Amino acid sequence: MTKMFKIALPDGSVKEMPEGSTPADVAAAIGPGLAKAALAAKVDGEVRDITRPFEGDAQLALITSRDEKDALELVRHDFAHILAEAVQNLYPGTQITFGPATDDGFYYDFAPTAEHGPFTEEELPAIEEEMRRIIARDEPLVREVWTRDQVRDFFEKQGEAFKAEWVMELPEGETITMYRTGEGEDAWVDLCRGPHLASTGKLDPSAFKLTRVSGAYWRGDPKNPMLSRIYGTAWLNKKQLDAYVVRLEEAAKRDHRKIGQEMDLFHLQAEAHGSVFWHPNGYIIWRELEAYMRRRLDSAGYLEVKTPQLMDARQWEKSGHWGKYRENMFIVPDSIPVVPEDEEDDTPVICDPDADLMALKPMNCPAHVLIFNQGIKSYRDLPLRLAEFGCCHRNEPHGALHGILRVRQFTQDDAHIFVTEEQLVDEIVAFCDLLDSVYRDLGFDSYAIKLALRPDKRFGSDAEWDHSEQVLRAAVAKAGRNTEEFGWEELPGEGAFYAPKLEFHLTDAIGRTWQVGTIQADTVLPERLDANYVGEDGQKHRPVMLHRAIIGTFERFIGILIEHYAGKFPLWLAPVQAVVTTIVSDADAYAAEVAAKLAAAGIRVESDLRNEKINYKVREHSLKKVPLLLVVGKREAEEGTVALRRLGSEDRQVVMTLDEAVAMIASEKVPPDLRVN
Ligand SMILES: [Zn+2]
Ligand SMILES: [Zn+2]
The bound ligand whose nearest atom lies closest to the alpha carbon of 188 is 1
> What residues in the chain have per-residue pLDDT under 70?
650, 677
**What is the CA(320)–ligand 1 centre distance, in A?**
41
pLDDT at 650: 67
Q: Is residue 162 exposed (0-12), middle (13-18) or buried (19+ Cβ within 10 Å)?
A: buried
The bound ligand whose nearest atom lies closest to the alpha carbon of 415 is 2
Q: Is residue 39 exposed (0-12), middle (13-18) or buried (19+ Cβ within 10 Å)?
A: buried
Q: Is residue 221 exposed (0-12), middle (13-18) or buried (19+ Cβ within 10 Å)?
A: exposed
How far apart are the C-alpha atoms of 26 and 31, rounded to whole Å?
9
Q: What is the 3-state secondary structure (H, E, C) of 49-111?
A: CCCCCCCCCEEEEEECCCCHHHHHHHHHHHHHHHHHHHHHHHCCCCEECCCCECCCEEEEEEE
The bound ligand whose nearest atom lies closest to the alpha carbon of 413 is 2
In order of 170, 199, 234, the CA distances from 74 in angstroms are 23, 12, 10
Distance of CA 81 to the CA centre of its chain: 28
**What is the CA(363)–ligand 2 centre distance, in A?**
6
The bound ligand whose nearest atom lies closest to the alpha carbon of 549 is 2
**What is the CA(513)–ligand 2 centre distance, in A?**
23
Q: Is residue 245 exposed (0-12), middle (13-18) or buried (19+ Cβ within 10 Å)?
A: middle
How far apart are the C-alpha atoms of 332 and 99, rounded to whole Å?
41
**What is the CA(521)–ligand 2 centre distance, in A?**
10
Question: Which residue blocks in 141-299 are alpha helix, DSSP H?
Answer: 148-158, 161-167, 238-253, 256-262, 280-299
288 C-beta neighbours (distance < 10 Å), count: 18
Q: Which residues of 43-66 are buried (b: 16+ CB within 10 A; e: fewer)?
A: beeebbbbbbebeeebebbbbbbe
Nearest alpha carbon to residue 394 among 273, 495, 307: 273
In order of 309, 316, 362, 406, 414, the CA distances from 409 in angstroms are 11, 19, 9, 9, 14
Q: Reduced to 3 states, what is the DSSP secondary structure of residue 232?
A: strand
Largest CA distance in the chain: 105
Say if strands 605-608 and 628-632 run parallel, antiparallel, or are unpaired.
unpaired
Specify the DSSP class assigned to residue 355. Answer: P
The beta strand positions in 394-473, using DSSP E, are 409-419, 447-452
Q: How many helices (H) and strands (E) does the chain have?
A: 20, 33
Q: At 616, phi and psi to the nearest 5?
A: -65, -45
Q: Is residue 97 exposed (0-12), middle (13-18) or buried (19+ Cβ within 10 Å)?
A: buried
For residues 583 and 632, is the Cβ–Cβ distance under 8 A? Answer: yes
**What is the CA(450)–ligand 2 centre distance, in A?**
18
Q: How many residues does the chain have?
A: 677
188 C-beta neighbours (distance < 10 Å), count: 19
The bound ligand whose nearest atom lies closest to the alpha carbon of 319 is 2
For residues 395 and 419, is the Cβ–Cβ distance under 8 A? Answer: no
How far apart are the C-alpha atoms of 603 and 669, rounded to whole Å?
8
The bound ligand whose nearest atom lies closest to the alpha carbon of 519 is 2
The bound ligand whose nearest atom lies closest to the alpha carbon of 178 is 1
The beta strand positions in 329-488, using DSSP E, are 331-333, 357-360, 377-378, 384-393, 409-419, 447-452
Q: Which residue type does 435 have?
A: L
How far apart are the C-alpha atoms of 342 and 338, rounded to whole Å?
12
The bound ligand whose nearest atom lies closest to the alpha carbon of 388 is 2
How far apart are the C-alpha atoms of 420 and 95, rounded to whole Å?
62
- Which residues are catalytically annotated? 365, 394, 412, 414, 416, 501, 547
Q: Which residue type does 515 have?
A: Q
**What is the CA(56)–ligand 1 centre distance, in A?**
26
pLDDT at 348: 79
Cα R_g (the chain), whole angstroms? 31
For residues 203 and 78, is the Cβ–Cβ distance under 8 A? Answer: yes
How far apart are the C-alpha atoms of 559 and 447, rounded to whole Å?
17
How far apart are the C-alpha atoms of 579 and 61, rounded to whole Å?
62
Q: At 206, phi and psi to the nearest 5?
A: -100, 10
The beta strand positions in 463-507, using DSSP E, are 489-491, 501-507
For residues 164 and 253, is the Cβ–Cβ distance under 8 A? Answer: no
**What is the CA(607)–ligand 1 centre distance, in A?**
62
**What is the CA(446)–ligand 1 centre distance, in A?**
37
Q: Reduced to 3 states, what is the DSSP secondary structure of residue 217?
A: strand
**What is the CA(522)–ligand 2 centre distance, in A?**
9
**What is the CA(77)–ligand 1 centre distance, in A?**
6
**What is the CA(490)–ligand 1 centre distance, in A?**
29
The bound ligand whose nearest atom lies closest to the alpha carbon of 49 is 1
**What is the CA(61)–ligand 1 centre distance, in A?**
22
**What is the CA(192)–ligand 1 centre distance, in A?**
4
**What is the CA(193)–ligand 1 centre distance, in A?**
6
- Evaluate the omega torsion of the peptide bond into residue 340 and state whether it is cis, within 30 degrees of 0: no
**What is the CA(653)–ligand 1 centre distance, in A?**
60
Nearest alpha carbon to residue 187 among 153, 154, 150, 140: 140
**What is the CA(499)–ligand 1 centre distance, in A?**
36
